[in-house]
Structure 1
């Protein structure tokens, strides 16, 4: 009776017989809710990670590393200048700093964490400073005196081929480069005009590679025509195909291929850069939106047309006609069409703005729909319509405005593919060469491929592929097991190399180990409380203490861009280099993501004085601070105030 009444009363209040509510089975300890300094099991560790600039760089340069050198954080070895040390760090990955500092569209800058503070670091401008300084000082590449006795045939003397010759020579392998053009450089020479790639500096960076020795150059030689694949297989221990993409993709409109005055940007720029085309038609229309299309329209404005122009414009653009003496010139009317809004074009923003200043008309968000032909089958105009992008494809806008652009020559700059005449056995059916993750050609032992022939992309992409392919070739020539590539496949800072450079190599483990191994933080055979995760981790901005960084304006390169009235005959370089002081100041804007840059925050804010500076004679980049774990209470303040994300709380897990 009592029980029943009691049950009724409890049930009215919503109670049950359960002693604990959900969640109450865990101990309710107020110490779990507050900070208890002396019971934490976590202490700081120093974790090297890859910065996103390097993670975004297709050639994998240690960008943070050479910025640290230029700014003065990382000191060069005794007897070496900052400029030379930065040059040598930069060219571990990419032997063309002067060129890349000028023409690379800089995905590193897009990835830069500093974008979440104010504006990206001007990586390109500092790289140009490094490259130009190296040329002015006459720095040379080092190469081992002893050779392996192996020989590699490199087919193509562009950025990929010459980068591979450079990397292979550093590994002790001789090579012969077969180049179809009269000079080395590939698309850097025959696809980009000289006012963007100064020919003297391009020549200097090419010659520096040749000067390493045991790199034979055979220009005006086409493999598949002048030399057979079988000859290469007989005479060389390995073959690297870096033949590039020398066919331009035509527009997706009827009769483009058979219309004589419709040409590719590849042919147009090659003719200009060879010097066989010194002027063009009065009305030029180019379809594109990337850097190549900007080169076409900017070249067209510079070379102009003849006052009494009376030839087929395609003849000089495709090499059928070689221009001799040039008479009186006038400017050509030049129009560029693109599928995208102005701020979404794939060309570098400053290139787009320069073209507009030079008098190029740019029609955005339009797609070509048809050629307008005369009675002779020649194009006299291009019909375009307003469009929108659906995924990766343009679609005509419903009720969109149609425009006919008058033209004497129409240039397509919408992509490229390989020219594999004579080497059809390598053609994968898409006018490219198949390659696996290690840049081996499947089913053809001893054959490797890199660059645009594998996947048309940036110059720096070709250089990065050549570097990996060279390592694969090296392992193949030495009959070593081919190694799996790391997740973050870049040229990383190596603390052990830095310690060796400073004469701070760890002692031998066997010589210095003791019988009692319970405490090893004072032993000299290891680098303590440090972990290199750079081959697996790219550090995001959320892992940094962004509040440490003040807003600092970029140190901009100045440009000498001609106006529409001045552009005719203007072939001087537009981009001026940074002065040394400006290059240093720009490098100082680097936030050193994933690596200590010696700001002292952790030392200053540690309440236990547990974090301390490593004695100067034992210190180097990455080993500037250490922790006394007898004092550390695991408060994690050092990790909170570390601007670069270099400190993590660990060791207890």
Structure 2
């Protein structure tokens, strides 16, 4: 039988998250019946796992909480070390062995299966077990001792506590065991105090049948934990005692009659809690007297339908703040054209950027990951590829010059044109798109998608493009006079270089990538070295392989900064990463390191970043020098020290293509507001708290391959899904749905804007908070009055 090994560290030695590790284990368990897990405190190991041929799991290393949680029949788990809380929680048939101690909650709510512990356990072990008489009773075997409140509300579970190397030898069952116990048997060996609940359990010695069961099963337990030498010690009958649940009939005979409520309150309730069982849990809780049920002004809190008051994580973390929630709602309603038009009012490049090159911060922060996988933004972005440009507003007579036709400049022009402002792009190259068109390999940015989006951009009214236009101080001054505003969006196209011996034989990554996408790419040779192991360096490696290289080595003086799709693509082709490596010299043979090692190469490329070329700037536009390069300083609206001049994108600071698109949109919105004499209002919503969402309304499902699939999976964070749950659950019928007048969004009236709202009647509402607790989207909040 082949064993599949899964490690809890990634290739860089970083601990893998519990959620990711669980997905890896679940995937492996669907194919293999034997797993070896090298863990580093990951939780939920073995949760709900089963294999048709049986499943054997070995855990090497410290395990986190809920080892064997919801364990299924046929699954065997062995942990070669201690484990954390909730061992075997809700176990319904798995066999779990722990060679070490376990902490609190071991076998909590277990219904079947066996758990073997080679040490001691913490508090509340074997609590709330459940036993179906059609199945064998759940079993917990402990070599040492237990913590407090052991077997609390035990409903049928069997425990064996051996008292070997006990943590508390003077009291092997801890304080107050068996409280509320209604079934089951506790076998124990060693000292115990008299604190067990006499109303629920009685102390006795094993009868013949009980002793036979214990002695016959002891050998198997000791074999499981590797302590067979203890068999003789643990099979001395006179050393064992039992605690067994008192039957209802026995309990009835213990009472001569019911205790009066006043006596119970005075003798038990007040003494134990001071009349307040929540005081230790919530000492700051307002305890002033109130009526049993209050409404209107007597309430301490009032429900508020905070629809779209907060931002969904996908919108908040997207630099363009695209309202993906609204887009998916329109798709669910069968109004895809409206969804596409709305998206195109935020970005001119949804298919090429969102659908291809963006690392998608929206997906990374998607709340759906709490259920299964994030919404697939690549599918949604590519779906808009062929859609026509939105209709622009009537001309305002204002005009803006934009220097640079990359994503930042295109975003500015697009937003201005939609608002009726004439935008004139001056681009030094022979095509629009900046590095997207010049550098990104067509394997990552499909040419067909790009050409369609450029064609749509050029079809937009109010946009004029002048290619092959170099900028100078004189030209810039003339633009300031002829246009209402000038926007600098030139990006960074000046490569950084290092002055080591042989540097003249090194090709800048930017120059190579431009050459690779041209009709006559340069030759690279069989071996290639790339200085700088970031994402651009990975693009260089991929293009070098495409052009015939057989071996590519990326070197860096620090841990490589590459990540995501770019790094994965380079590694799949065979690229090797070496660090820390400092370059001493470049020769005909290759790169010589500071230690004198030779890394053979026929071509050496350098990828340590690019800087802006700002020689055309007048002195009125202030810059700041960082890392030996000048960058333009701006305020939050991207306005420079020269009032009618703005700067966006990489000339402010390097970032993603999406950052450039977002900066361009913000700058355009500032200009539009100024032209209209209105106040500029940037995006200022806070992200909705994940605690506000009730994601347990959703079940894991297939990710799907269509935009409709994504729309159905969306949790609709912070945006009402009109599910009527709040209306249905309200115990007093205070919540109702009513229609309202359709509003507008970003100056454009959408049919998709909410034409309804949910309201709460103050005269009926009792401030129970059920609406806030059940709302899947986090819309209802309970605000203080």
TM-score (norm 2): 0.57
User: Is 2:516–2:522's contact at 8 Å kept on the other side of the alignment?
Assistant: yes
1:229–1:423: 8 Å Cα contact kept in structure 2?
yes
Alignment of 1:35-50 (within 5 A): 36=293, 38=295, 40-47=299-306, 48=308, 49-50=310-311
- 1:255 paired to 2:526: no
2:398 paired with 1:150: yes
1:88 to 319, 341, 346: 341
Paired residue for 2:470?
222
Quick check: 1:56 aligned with 2:303? no
Deviation per CA, 1:567-626: give whole Å up to 9, x if none: xxxxxxxxxxx4xxx221123222111111123321222212222333699996373533
Partner of 1:110: 364
Aligned residues: 485
Residue of structure 2 in register with 1:14 after alignment: none
CA contact (8 A) 1:109 1:120 kept: yes
**Partner residue in 1 for 2:487:** 240
SS of residue in 1 equivalent to 2:581: strand
1:456 paired to 2:700: no
Matched, 1:347 2:563: yes
1:642 and 2:775 matched? yes
Aligned to 2:156: none
Cα pair 2:739 2:755 within 8 Å, conserved: no
Going from structure 1 to structure 2, the CA distance change for 1:615 and 1:153 (only over 3 Å counts) comes to: closer
Distance across 2 between alignment mates of 1:584 and 1:260 = 54
Residue 126 of structure 1 and its aligned partner are, at CA, apart by 1.8
Task: Specify the alignment match of 2:90 in structure 1.
Answer: none
The range that moved more, 271-280 or 459-468, is 271-280
Q: 1:29–1:354: structure 2 CA closer, same or farther, 3 Å change rule?
A: closer
Helix, strand or coil for the counterpart of 1:431?
Answer: strand
- After superposition, what is the alpha-carbon deviation per residue over 1:278-315, rounded to whole angstroms, capped at 9, x for unaligned? 542321122444432221111111121xxxxxxxxxxx
Could you list the runs of 5+ residues in structure 2 that have no partner in the other structure? 1-278, 743-751
Which position in structure 1 is the counterpart of 2:198?
none
Distance 1:334 1:30, change over 3 A: closer
CA distance in 2, matches of 1:622, 1:46: 14
CA contact (8 A) 2:345 2:390 kept: no
Q: Map 1:590-629; keep pairs closer than 5 Å.
A: 590-614=714-738, 621=754, 623-629=756-762
Equivalent of 1:475 in 667, 670, 673: 673
Match of 2:121 in 1: none
**Post-superposition offset of 1:542:** 1.5
Secondary structure at the counterpart of residue 405 of structure 1 = strand
Counterpart pick for 2:583 among 367, 370, 379: 370
Cα separation, 2, equivalents of 1:596 and 1:340: 47
Q: Distance in 2 between matches of 1:601 and 1:259?
A: 67
What's 2:108 paired with? none
Say which of 542, 566, 572 aligns to 1:298: 542
Cα contact 1:160–1:462 (8 A) shared by 2 = yes
Deviations 1:624-644 (A, max 9, x none): 533333322221101101111
Residue deviations 1:234-283 (CA, integer Å, cap 9, x gap):
322211110010022336xx617x61222322111122223342542321
In structure 1, runs of 5+ residues without a counterpart are 1-22, 77-81, 305-330, 386-401, 490-534, 556-577
Q: In the alignment, which residue of structure 2 is the partner of 1:139?
A: 388
RMSD: 3.1
Residues 387-432 of structure 1, C-alpha deviation per residue, up to 9 Å, x if partnerless? Answer: xxxxxxxxxxxxxxx9643222222323221122443745544332
| Counterpart among 510, 530, 538 of residue 266 in structure 1 | 510
Report the Cα distance in structure 2 between the residues aligned to 1:424 and 1:617, rounded to whole angstroms: 51
- Aligned-pair distance for 1:91? 1.9
Tell me, yes or no, if the aligned pair for 2:634 and 2:640 is still in contact at 8 Å: yes
The residue aligned with 2:551 is 333
Is the CA contact 1:71–1:585 (under 8 Å) kept in the aligned structure 2?
A: no
Instruction: Calculate the TM-score normalised by the size of structure 1.
Output: 0.68
Tell me, yes or no, if structure 1 residue 126 matches structure 2 residue 380: yes
Q: Counterpart of 2:703?
A: 554
TM-aligned CA deviation for residue 223 of structure 1: 1.0
Cα drift, residue 382 of structure 1: 4.8
Q: Distance in 2 between matches of 1:379 and 1:482?
A: 62
Structure 1 residue 30, shift from structure 2 partner: 7.2
Distance in 2 of aligned mates of 1:289 and 1:482: 44
For 2:478, which of 231, 247, 272 is the aligned residue? 231
Cα distance change on mapping 1:424 and 1:268 into 2, 3 Å: farther
| Alignment check: 8 A CA contact 1:379 1:409 kept | no
Aligned counterparts of 1:611 and 1:282: Cα–Cα separation in 2: 72
Partner of 1:371, secondary structure, is strand
Structure 1 position 352, deviation (Å) = 2.6
Match for 2:441 among 151, 169, 193? 193
**TM-fit CA distance, 1:363:** 1.7
Instruction: Note the 1:546-585 alignment, pairs <5 A.
Output: 546-555=695-704, 578=705, 582-585=706-709
User: How far does residue 347 in structure 1 lie from its aligned partner after superposition?
Assistant: 2.8
The 3 A distance-change label for structure 1 pair 450 and 373 is closer
Bigger Rg, which one: 2
Q: CA 1:288 to 1:36, structure 2 compared with 1: closer, same or farther past 3 Å? A: farther
- CA 583–600 in structure 1, closer or farther in 2 if over 3 Å, else same: same
Alignment CA distance shift 1:633-1:263 (3 Å): same
Contact 1:250 1:263 (8 Å CA) reproduced:
no
Query: Residues of 2 paired with 1:481 and 1:239: CA distance?
Result: 19
SS in 2 for 1:368: coil
Q: Write out per-residue CA displacement over residues 493-512 of structure 1, whole angstroms, 9 at most, x where no aligned residue.
A: xxxxxxxxxxxxxxxxxxxx
Residues 432 and 70 of structure 1, relative CA distance in 2, 3 Å threshold: same
- Aligned counterpart for 2:664 among listed residues 466, 474, 479: 466
Please state how far the C-alpha of 1:41 moved relative to its aligned partner.
Answer: 4.2
1:485-496 mapped onto 2 (5 Å cutoff):
485-486=681-682, 489=683
**1:541 matched to 2:690:** yes
Hey, what's the Cα distance between the residues in 2 that align with 1:587 and 1:609? 31
> Any idea what SS the aligned residue of 1:335 has?
strand
User: Per the alignment, in what secondary structure is the counterpart of residue 153 of structure 1?
Assistant: strand
Deviation digits for residues 73-119 of structure 1, max 9, x if unmatched? xx64xxxxx1x211122122211111111110111122222233333
Report the more deviating stretch, 456-465 or 424-433.
Answer: 424-433
